[in-house]
Structure 1
Amino acid sequence: MKLFLVFFYLTLISIFCHANDGINDSRSCFRGSFESHESWIAYSATKKNFNKERFLAYFPKSKFNERKDTLECVDFTYQVDGLTIEGYYLKPKQHDNKKLPLVIFNRGGNADFGYVGFNKKMDFIADIATHGYMVIGSQYRGASTRFIQNNGNDEFGGNDVNDVIALVTLAESIPNVDSANIALVGWSRGVMQSYLAAKKLKNVKTIVAIAGNADAEKALVIRPEMERVYQARIPDFQSDRANQLAQRSVIKWVDRLPADMPILLVHGSEDKRVNVEQSLMLAAVLSEQAYPHKLVIFAGGNHSLDKNRSELIELTINWLDNYLKPK
């Protein structure tokens, strides 16, 4: 009888744990205030500094309807290290069984600053998805504490990297995704996430690194106010400062990245948040080590590369096509 009860409880635990593996609470991004172009505008008009004319110029109704008709956009939660994390994915609606290469998008910011809302999903991320890619991303732990109790704390390149790594297993459960064919696309802090994740992931074919730091210590010389972010987010930062910064600086451990994994470095020359010298320094080290890479600097470009978006998406898609869609 005791053996039966032990087996019974172990079975229940197994079922419970399995139920919490994978994608949970999935819902379409095109819901509520974002169900239609009109409701999106009405919602946006409640926000400070909303410019309707500029919004319509960039995102007319025809563009919204095309994306809603052709893209599957899903918000979901998933479990990592006992925490509930928010994620999302975008992929073309398919009428065949063609496998889609997997792009993991790593956002910038920290905690809820940089949270990927609907506007961001419909911008650069959707641009990639529309070209035949499954794009999946994490909001990272600590970004959703306002409405998820068990959301954890952002460690800015600590255990939150597990939130990125877990996306590969999640993607395997989504139909027609080629999880053996992966690219990491990071922006700002997300570039660090990409490098850290690449050390632990298999099948990463390439990284696209947009406006990212390579040396956290030297970055503080240009932007010392970021030390407050590190103090608030990084565990043991006060007592282990040099080591913690080195762990988050790819330039210190380039040799630990997957061999022969091409890296596209993109930066704006007038970036005030992450100085362009960061990409220049890393490119020099990659050249010294004969590591495959390409450096593209947009003259006059800022951190968001607002005035270079068409060139950026063309550059990114051509790069991804070259390494994830071999001829």
Structure 2
Amino acid sequence: MRFRCRGGTPKEVLADADIERTYVDPNNGQLLGYLERGAPSKPVLFDPRQQAIISRVYQAFPNRDLRIVEWTPDFSHFLVHTSGNGDSGTWYVVDVTGRRADPVGYDYPMIATENVGPVSKVTYQAADGLEMDGILTLPPGGVTKNLPVVLLPHGGPTAYDPVAFDWWAQAFASRGYAVFQPNFRGSTNRGDAFRRAGNGQWGRKMQSDISDGLAELAKRGLVDPKRACIVGASYGGYAALAGVTLQHGLYRCAVAVAPVSDLSDMYLTDLRVSGGSNMLKNSLRESLGNPSTFAEVSPRKRAAQADAPILLIHGKDDTVVPFKQSSAMADALKDARKPYELVVMPNEDHWLSRSATRQQMLEAAVAFVEKNNPAN
């Protein structure tokens, strides 16, 4: 971030901060502070009085994921969103002066507090010693040992999962599964160095980071490693496919929603759509590695090595990861005589934006996991 000083020369400030958002006073345009990317993170305001008020708001919601959405100019009232243990997503108006927080809306009003599985962060080391973490959601009811497990890697891959209510994770937890969401290298919760550690690691260390998390949970006695499936969307869908094609002997099944299956095809498609942008080409090569290696880590090219049943789910009108990524994977699995199912969602996008489609996806995914990896 740069500011122009009174003398006219730009001066860099916060050089080491990975800033996600800045806060500006709407009355005069003055910069009030910023929010750093990553978890946990709360706004950093330059005025000590304002920072103290922000801290009081956070203290009112311990052990929950909190996001401040907006506040009044005098910092007397805040609109916040919370989720996490016992909280499926709640909107509050916080009255700082009156020392009260009133709920004004709920993300999932039909989910009772006792039906929200406990959520916690698990830290572990990758095989090469890199420190990382993941989010563990357990079934409601207190069972914490030797559970069947669903690995649920996030999309992006430049994203991360916080200690919060996740509707996918909670759906599986409600059926008796432990759910683990690993923040593998390349995630955005541990700074730029950790994010850059994912460059060129699709199907490689980013993939083994996921299975290293499974091994850690098994070591602690929380899960039964012989009863594991892997589920994900977008990049997470790629990781699900890679878990049963590039890796072996780990998962009883894989569910891939809007997945990348062929890195070469993704690379060439993105370049074509961009008009051959050199900037995009350089960015893709930095993230994915040398194109000559793409076949080595493309599940479509390794379909014959699949060692578990695969469910593919894809929106027909996906403009982020084209539908052909799933149809081509299905064709490769069919040619290799490997067990698979393909669920096609007409008129649906990458994010499964319609509630009916999301329910259809979740019902199909849960049924597939229950069939191939029963909780009981």
TM-score bracket relative to the smaller structure: 0.7 to 0.9
Give the TM-score, by structure 1 length.
0.74
Partner residue in 2 for 1:231:
285
Higher Rg:
2
Among 275, 278, 283, the alignment partner of 2:330 is: 283
Alpha-carbon displacement from aligned partner over 1:191-233 (angstroms, at most 9, x marks no partner) = 2222333333424111101101221212234322564543232
Q: How does 1:267-282 map to 2 (within 5 A)?
A: 267-282=314-329
Q: Return the alpha-carbon distance in structure 2 between the equivalents of residues 77 and 262 of structure 1.
A: 30
Q: How does 1:44-55 map to 2 (within 5 A)?
A: none
Aligned 8 A contact 1:85 1:151 in 2 = no
Aligned 8 A contact 2:90 2:107 in 1 = no
Aligned 8 A contact 1:185 1:209 in 2 = yes
Unmatched segments (≥5 aa) in structure 2: 1-61, 67-81, 95-103, 275-279
Residue identity opposite 1:273 in structure 2: V
Partner residue in 1 for 2:64:
31
Q: Return the alpha-carbon distance in structure 2 between the equivalents of residues 206 and 274 of structure 1.
A: 22
Q: Secondary structure at the match of 2:138?
A: strand
Greater share of helix residues, 1 or 2? 1
Q: How does 1:1-327 map to 2 (within 5 A)?
A: 30-31=63-64, 33=66, 34=82, 40-42=90-92, 56=105, 58-60=107-109, 63=111, 65-68=113-116, 71-80=117-126, 81-95=128-142, 99-111=146-158, 114-117=159-162, 121-144=165-188, 146=190, 153-155=197-199, 156-157=201-202, 158-175=204-221, 177-198=223-244, 199-224=246-271, 227-235=281-289, 237=290, 241-243=291-293, 245-258=294-307, 261-307=308-354, 308-325=357-374
Relative to 1, partners in 2 of residues 1:228 and 1:131: Cα closer, same or farther, differing over 3 Å? farther
| Identical residues among aligned pairs (%) | 21
Alpha-carbon displacement from aligned partner over 1:114-145 (angstroms, at most 9, x marks no partner) = 322356x4222211211211111211113246
Aligned residues: 277
Deviation at 1:267, TM superposition (A): 0.2
Q: Secondary structure at the match of 2:119?
A: strand
Q: Return the alpha-carbon distance in structure 1 between the equivalents of residues 192 and 268 of structure 2.
A: 36
Aligned 8 A contact 1:30 1:73 in 2 = no
Give the TM-score, by structure 2 length.
0.65
Greater share of strand residues, 1 or 2? 2
Aligned 8 A contact 1:181 1:204 in 2 = yes
Alpha-carbon displacement from aligned partner over 1:46-91 (angstroms, at most 9, x marks no partner) = xxxxxxxxx946423x5262444xx121113211122111211111
Q: Return the alpha-carbon distance in structure 2 between the equivalents of residues 326 and 101 of structure 1.
A: 6
Relative to 1, partners in 2 of residues 1:189 and 1:82: Cα closer, same or farther, differing over 3 Å? same
Q: Return the alpha-carbon distance in structure 1 between the equivalents of residues 207 and 322 of structure 2.
A: 23
Aligned 8 A contact 1:223 1:273 in 2 = no
Deviation at 1:181, TM superposition (A): 1.0
Relative to 1, partners in 2 of residues 1:288 and 1:187: Cα closer, same or farther, differing over 3 Å? same
Does 1 or 2 have the higher relative contact order (CA < 8 Å, sep 6+)? 1
Aligned 8 A contact 2:119 2:163 in 1 = no
The CA RMSD measured in Å over matched residues stands at 3.2
Q: Return the alpha-carbon distance in structure 1 between the equivalents of residues 147 and 172 of structure 2.
A: 12
Aligned 8 A contact 1:83 1:152 in 2 = no
Q: Secondary structure at the match of 2:236?
A: helix
Q: Return the alpha-carbon distance in structure 1 between the equivalents of residues 230 and 347 of structure 2.
A: 26
Q: Secondary structure at the match of 1:183?
A: strand
Aligned 8 A contact 1:107 1:190 in 2 = yes
Unmatched segments (≥5 aa) in structure 1: 1-28, 45-54
Q: Secondary structure at the match of 2:91?
A: helix
Residue identity opposite 2:374 in structure 1: K
Q: Return the alpha-carbon distance in structure 1 between the equivalents of residues 344 and 106 of structure 2.
A: 26
